[in-house]
Chain A
Amino acid sequence: MHLPRFTYVRPGSRDEAAGLLDTFGKAAVLVAGGTDLFPRMKYRISTPEYLVSLSGVTRFLPALDEDGALRIDALMSLGDLSRSPIVRTHAPLVSQAATCVASGQIRNAATLGGNLCLECRCLYYNQSHTFQFVEPCFKLGGDLCYFAPKGNRCWAIFASDVAPALLSLDTVICVTGGPGKQRRFPVAELYTGDALSPLTLLPSEIITEIIVPSAFGTGRHSFRKFSRRKGYEFAGLSVAVALQVADDGRTCRDARIAVGSVAGGPVRAAAAEAGLPGQDLSNSETVRSAAATAAQEIRPIAHHGYQAAHLRHCLEVEVLRALTEAAGPAPLADV
């Protein structure tokens, strides 16, 4: 399969790239690693006239702020992210989630920012539409959904593994829309939850860096990815848990539970989180009831052959495992 023809543009800076995106409008697509975009272009799902490549942009290495927050370049490849000693020390959950993405080959090309901006996927959308599913679905500008023929919306899922990890760490996203048009906001505000247009970014905006605050960064955490094969596959669902624990080593001070691949964006299990502060994490009942609450409040969308009821059961199991792992081995009883 060949890529469709396009005009290749390689700006020297992110601001310049944002300017080009602004000029070209809908005819242009931004590309960094290309591992998500190029397959779609080969399937002719996306046929941009201009390809604005970030390959000529200078990158910076991850570094700590004065307040202990870790700043990571959005153009850092997932492979570098999983190998970087500073990320592994100061944001181990991010590096763990990055290691779970796709295969080594893809991780060496794919970037952090690209993974946060993945296109939503479904079994029907992500394939060639030349001989079957020819009628355009919602995502292709039509008005039908192959997955839910009677439905009136797109039911694709957002499959990033890194996004739930960043969500659970209260990460801040920095974007630029051109010179003087920088803004920063919590990662939760990056996602609309609507599979048709999953991102809240303006068409000309580019993610420049992410900032992982120190509070959750080095706390207790766990990342779990559930899929049929253990290896190279998009997640059936992924769970990221970050905990702040009191000095006694078992009383929860604050908790974050984020789940990916269950909706049009990563979601937080807010009710399950709310029940945890002040609780004893070494008590298996506490953890069990939090997992049950998470499975009750989140309704996973069936996708890629996984049934909704199955995913909901797996969600409960994976949240339970993640919480248990994050809480750590029960400290020795004070005898």
Chain B
Amino acid sequence: MEHIKVVVHLLINGDAHDLAIAPEATLSEVLRGQLGLTGTKDGCGTGECGACTVLADGRPILSCLTLAFECQGREITTIEGVACNGELNPVQQAFIDAGAIQCGFCTPGMVLATIALLNETPHPSFAEIEKALEGVLCRCTGYNKIVEAVNRAAEAIAARLKGGTSCQTP
């Protein structure tokens, strides 16, 4: 059976892409394989590790369990799209400052899950941080520093909003 490809129109990090993909291609495969956006990591492939987390319309989803075809009409944000005008996103900066990165494999997922959390809950409690990050596994045992980074990011974003900086987080 010859396999038919389908044409999709995807909106990724604000850029429109028209691509021919196989219907069974997942979003992570398209992001990494066809668009070269390898910041999104392919971990377990079955929804256990959260390394492939991306934002769809601002909410975190697993790109390894999402068909790329079904992402049409949704605004996808990957880790490549969170920096603004060449300046790191406050969450990325907080992760660096807190030393919340060891091997870095979980970091894109952690950062995107944190951005989604802080958009909804600007000052999250420890329990809320735990709940928001439960879907991303860090095997370097760096959770304390990651939680610290989330708190730093919350403070940084609050300070920025006070200062009236125009850079919007996705």
Contacts and interface: CB of A to CB of B under 8 A. Distances in A.
A104 B24 contact: no
Nearest to A109: B61
A53 B59 CA distance: 21
Contacts of A53: 67, 70
A42 B66 contact: no
Interface residues of B, number: 31
Given A5-B3, A109-B62, A42 B45 contact: yes
Given A3-B26, A105-B113, A43 B134 contact: no
A3 B46 contact: no
B53 to A, nearest CB: 6
Contacts of B60: 104-105, 108
A79 B59 contact: yes
- B interface majority secondary structure: mixed
B24 A4 contact: yes
Contacts of B29: 2
A6 interface: yes
B24 A6 contact: yes
Given A2-B24, A38-B65, A105 B46 contact: no
Interface residues of A, number: 27
B9 to A, nearest CB: 15
B133 to A, nearest CB: 8
B62 A104 contact: no
Nearest to A31: B67
Interface string A204-240: 0000000000000000000000000001100000000
Nearest to B65: A38
Given A104-B135, A105-B113, A108-B59, A8 B23 contact: yes
A39 B65 contact: yes
A198 to B, nearest CB: 21
Interface in B42-77: 45-47, 50, 53, 56, 59-62, 65-67, 69-70
A284 interface: no
B50 A34 contact: no
Given A3-B25, A102-B47, A104-B135, 17 more contacts: A1-B45, A4-B24, A5-B3, A5-B22, A7-B23, A8-B23, A38-B47, A42-B46, A102-B135, A104-B131, A105-B47, A105-B50, A105-B62, A105-B113, A109-B65, A231-B130, A232-B135
* Closest 4 pairs between A and B when the two form their complex, measured CB to CB: A103-B135, A231-B134, A39-B46, A8-B23
